[in-house]
Amino acid sequence: MSNPPIRFSPLTTTVPGYPRVATSRVYKSLLERFWSQKTSLEAFEEGVRELRTERLRVQREHGLEWIPSGDFSLYDHVLDTALMLGCVPERFGWSGDAIGPELTFALARGKDGVPPLEMTKWFDTNYHYLVPELPDRFRLTANRPLEDARFAREIVGVEHVKPVLLGPFTFLKLARLEGSELATRLDALVPIYEEVLRELAAEGFGLIQMDEPSLVTDLGEGELEAFRRAYERLAPAASLIVQTYYGDVAPSYDTLCALPVAGLGLDFVRGRDRNLACLQGGFPADKLLVAGVVDGRNVWRTDLEAAKALVQEIASFVPPERLAIGSSCSLLHLPETVASEQALPSALRGALAFAQERLEELRLLAGALRGERPEGWDIAQAALAAWREEASRFDERVQARVAAIREEDTRRMAYAQRRPLQDARLKLPMLPTTTIGSFPQTPELRKARRLREADPAAYEAAIREEIERVIRLQEEIGLDVLVHGEPERNDMVQFFGDQMKGFATTEEGWVQSYGSRCVRPPIIFGDVDRLGPMTVKELRYAQSLTERPVKGMLTGPITILQWSFVREDIPRREVAAQIALAIRDEVRDLEEAGLSMVQIDEAAFREGLPLRREDWPEYAAWAVRSFRIATGGARPETQIHTHMCYSEFGDMIESIAAMDADVISIEDARSEGALFETLREFRYPQQIGPGVYDIHSPNVPSVEFVEERLRGALACLPLDQVWVNPDCGLKTRRYEEVVPALRNMVEGARNLRR
């Protein structure tokens, strides 16, 4: 069968995907109203149709020529793909008939005690996907990409539709298959994909985007070969663009070029240098190239002149009639539009581009490349030039401080020497008990926080009352090391961002994290410094209430960096160093206020790891250094804690040890002790609190369960190295669960001490 003719006009503009939630988080409200049964299924589905229509129209109105279909999702596109392929675990009691929203949400969120699919990070982004659980046999449940493409055709016309599918290779990688198992399963998936693609082609959808971002990661033995075989077979079914993003494809470039597919999509933002080097080696004359030249991951306005030069360079290897330009990846990771940000300083606003502005940039670029001088070009470039001159970005004092950091500033007294000083000061029992920082965030607390501006006195009183309540509760439960409970924070990054210069907060800068959950990352636009002490008032008060040690609670530089949009005019490592100095100052102030221990959360330390292993050592070096800048000024008798939200340490244990924290608490409650082995083999020297129960579940652990977990830890680690704590903060739980769980935890620890 021959494929429909390829419609491809020179320098067509496109994006791999577009945001789903829309301004004011329309989709979030739709979903949550449906979940709480405030709307019927019919009304929900009607709302979704309207939203999808609007999403398509926005792209068309901004002049986008080649518009993705199938990128919208009720919850997550990996889940959609799993459902299309019949991957519904038995526990959901699926009868095999058509899959609607109810079953989709059951897999995503669990239902009536049936646990949902596991959720995890999508590549190195803050988007989360649901990990598919594969059945023995795949089967096509519905040709969803075709339905989506038909829907889009009605709105924007067939010539503008680009069906988008998550490719079978990446799908299986995301289901955590490897090596020969991956190859076998891929063979089984190919016929199903073939059918989907044939039907699309038969309806005249000329070019189809197959997302294969796994090609920018390290591939195992035989995996690239399995990929090649699959696409050899798929290529005749339709005209395919193999789309990659988040990095370069250097190791697989030759394989890609030799495939009989219609074209390739490459990322020239993140993967710029290596992908350009690939092109220099030649690009096949029979293929189209979709070049990602404006950034889909960060919010800074594109320098159009520079982007134009980049496209011209690319065009010296690929003639314009075979070249399309687009964003480096789906715009899913950007907020909708800068137009909603009227409260930002105008110079900063002028320097930003969210999803809609990216579409404008593509329109301008395409115009300029076709030889026009499009209206808007000069204004865009002027805004950028003005920002480069903007004085509020710079603080010479901060820059000088960073430049002056010496090696010894990042070094504390040796652990073996400071440990006895801390023990003598703290006088803790063996197996000391503590928590990770936050206590439940009740509706009353959220209400009190909203008073902050309107009625500062009432706000302060409410926060103090809450701190006192939480301290008394912990004393009563019998915890050894107390926390203040973080009642004044709604977000562990935003809270610090709001109190530092160089940070801006948006009003509507929401980005989907998963399902209905959106985050609003702060924007780091300039040199960072504290505006004043950030946590001292609350922590001093907390410590004044009790004889037991209270642990100060800060967020670390890497986590702040990872969960923000970061400036690009200086290296990330330098921004990290600036934040680290601010945290260092805060540690000193907390010591002055009488605190004997401070926890610096690095929840996102591992997330920052580059996608390719060869790039890890460089990251690890500056990430560890930033933690050591933050902590290096602490007195030896001050105990420094850190917390990380994962437990796969095997591959980075050296970095964790190099951070030189006195105590690290980790999220280990769901892993099966593999961690302890790693720690034993490595002879991890410092203290460690393996999470003894899982706070992500409402279940209350029994005393025996806690004892069992601790015995597991003690089989591998010396007694004087082990702490007892839950595996993460308690803020999403309710007191009904938290109080009995902590009581059992404390009792379990006491039993073992005997």
Q: Is 645 in the site for ligand GLN (CB under 6 A)?
A: yes
Tokens of 312: 């011209």
What tokens were used for 673? 């002790």
CB of 554 to ligand GLN, least distance (A): 9
- Which amino acid, one-letter code, is at 658? A
Among 603, 659, 722, 746, binds ligand GLN (CB under 6 A): 603
Any residues with CB less than 8 A from the CB of 131 and at least 6 apart, and which?
A: 78, 117, 118, 119, 120, 174, 175, 176
Instruction: Tally the residues of the chain.
Output: 754
Task: Spell out a b/e string for 615-650, using b for 16 or more CB atoms within 10 Å of the CB, else e.
Answer: eeeebbebbbbbbbbbbbbbbbbbbbbbbbbbbebe
Shortest reach from residue 512's CB to ligand GLN, in Å: 19
The site partner of 367 among Zn ion, ligand GLN, none (C-beta below 5 to 8 Å per kind) is none
| 600/630 Cα distance (integer angstroms) | 9
Among 643, 646, 663, 692, which residue interacts with ligand GLN (rule: CB under 6 A)? 643
Asked if 664 touches ligand GLN (CB under 6 A), the answer is no
Pick between residue 13 and residue 665 the one whose CB is nearest to ligand GLN: 665
Q: How far is the CB of 666 from ligand GLN (least distance, A)?
A: 10
Quote the CA–CA distance of 354 and 22 in Å, as a whole number: 12
| Angstrom distance (rounded) from CA 560 to CA 746 | 32
Burial of 658 (0-12, 13-18, 19+ CB in 10 A): middle
Per CB under 5 A, 728 contacts Zn ion: yes
CA neighbor of 52 nearest in space, from 67, 35, 41, 37: 67
Does position 353 interact with ligand GLN (CB under 6 A)? The reply is no
End-to-end CA distance of the chain: 77
In this structure, how many other beta carbons lie within 10 angstroms of the beta carbon of residue 159?
Answer: 12
Taking the complex as a whole, the smallest distance from the CB of residue 647 to Zn ion amounts, in Å, to 10
**Residue found by looking up tokens 């933002």 in the block:** 269
492 versus 669: smaller Cβ distance to ligand GLN: 492
Contact 182, 226 (CB under 8 A): yes
436 binds ligand GLN (CB under 6 A): yes
Minimum distance between the CB of residue 553 and ligand GLN, rounded to whole angstroms?
A: 6
Nearer to Zn ion, 366 or 645 (CB): 645
Distance in angstroms (rounded) separating the CA atoms of residues 568 and 572:
7
Q: How far apart are CA 436 and CA 734, in angstroms?
A: 15
Considering the complex, state which of residue 32 and residue 694 has its C-beta at the smaller distance from Zn ion: 694
Binding mask of the shown chain, residues 614 to 653, with x at each position contacting Zn ion by CB under 5 A: -------------------------------x--------
DSSP conformation letters of 691-709: B-S-TTS-PPPPHHHHHHH
| Stretch near ligand GLN under the rule CB under 6 A, chosen from 413-421, 433-441, 584-592, 733-741 | 433-441
Assess whether 696 carries a catalytic annotation.
yes
- In whole angstroms, the minimum distance from the beta carbon of 603 to Zn ion comes to 5
CB of 747 to ligand GLN, least distance (A): 22
* Residues 539, 545, 550: CA angle, nearest 5 degrees: 45
Q: Which of 266, 553, 624, 666 binds ligand GLN (CB under 6 A)?
A: 553
String marking each residue 384-423 x if it binds ligand GLN according to CB under 6 A:
----------------------------------------
601 is an interface residue for ligand GLN by CB under 6 A:
yes
Is 438 a residue that touches ligand GLN (CB under 6 A)? yes
Q: Known catalytic residues?
A: 696
Residues at the site binding ligand GLN, with contacts judged by CB under 6 A: 436-438, 486, 492, 553, 601, 603, 643, 645, 728-729, 731
